[in-house]
A and B are shown apart, each in its own frame.
Chain A
């Protein structure tokens, strides 16, 4: 499910050539790399931050990529390297946000209703309809906001995007063991939050 690693239709040798030219001083050629990969970066960023923040963060990803272009090595495809920058930019966004101590709003009656309807779904079709609803995204966001930026980043990559622990470690620039521990801890934290949410539903219902 890790679709951010899917090829985007250009060979890595073309990317390598473009990067080489930009490094040699043809900075205007960087526009071609932006046009080639901004949808790819937009998808990665769009899944991780609020919609109104996406253009600004995609912009930051490309500026960071340009500044750090000297560190790009041909041993990895450009899109993978760029995906790492995108993931770390989103992680920095949430780290910055967590310093502000913005209170997380509680689940609403609509969210509780969504949980109830999802639990009582009689068919796969009903279940899938539930997952497509806005409430599903809001509840997930509610849960993720309760996690630390580190746990959030790992949970999103490993459990939601479906990256392996090794790929996640590469993307975040962390050690494999750190990712493994965090992934386990983050999953447990998510389940505890959902348990609370379900408990709240039962109490409200009683």
Chain B
């Protein structure tokens, strides 16, 4: 690039920059207030619907978890109750041993 080219480029560059800076008032009169607020209301509505749905989801999961816990507890108790007579209770066993006379008595 010669010095002459450099000078010409500088002139064009300056002209383009000055032109850019002089176009300062473009698009100053637009009004997007209504459109933006509509969009915000719509998204807020969606968000509140989504949050109601998520509360419902949480409720269902909690109910399911509590029900599962109750069923599990009941099952364990029931199994314990039915298993009791079949097995030997340690206290009863001791009482039985105490009542049996020893050899020679």
Binding site for B on A (CB under 8 A): 1, 3, 27-28, 30-31, 34-35, 38-39, 42-43, 45-47, 51, 54-55, 58-59, 62-63, 66-67, 115, 118-119, 127-128, 130-133, 136-137, 139-140, 143, 159-160, 190-191, 194-195, 197-198
Contacts and interface: CB of A to CB of B under 8 A. Distances in A.
A136 B15 contact: yes
25 contacts: A1-B21, A3-B24, A28-B37, A31-B37, A38-B32, A38-B33, A43-B28, A45-B27, A46-B28, A47-B24, A51-B26, A58-B32, A67-B43, A115-B12, A118-B11, A127-B15, A131-B19, A132-B19, A137-B20, A139-B12, A140-B16, A160-B17, A190-B13, A191-B9, A198-B9
B36 A198 contact: no
A140 B13 CA distance: 9
A31 B35 CA distance: 10
B18 A131 contact: yes
Interface residues of B, number: 34
B8 A137 contact: no
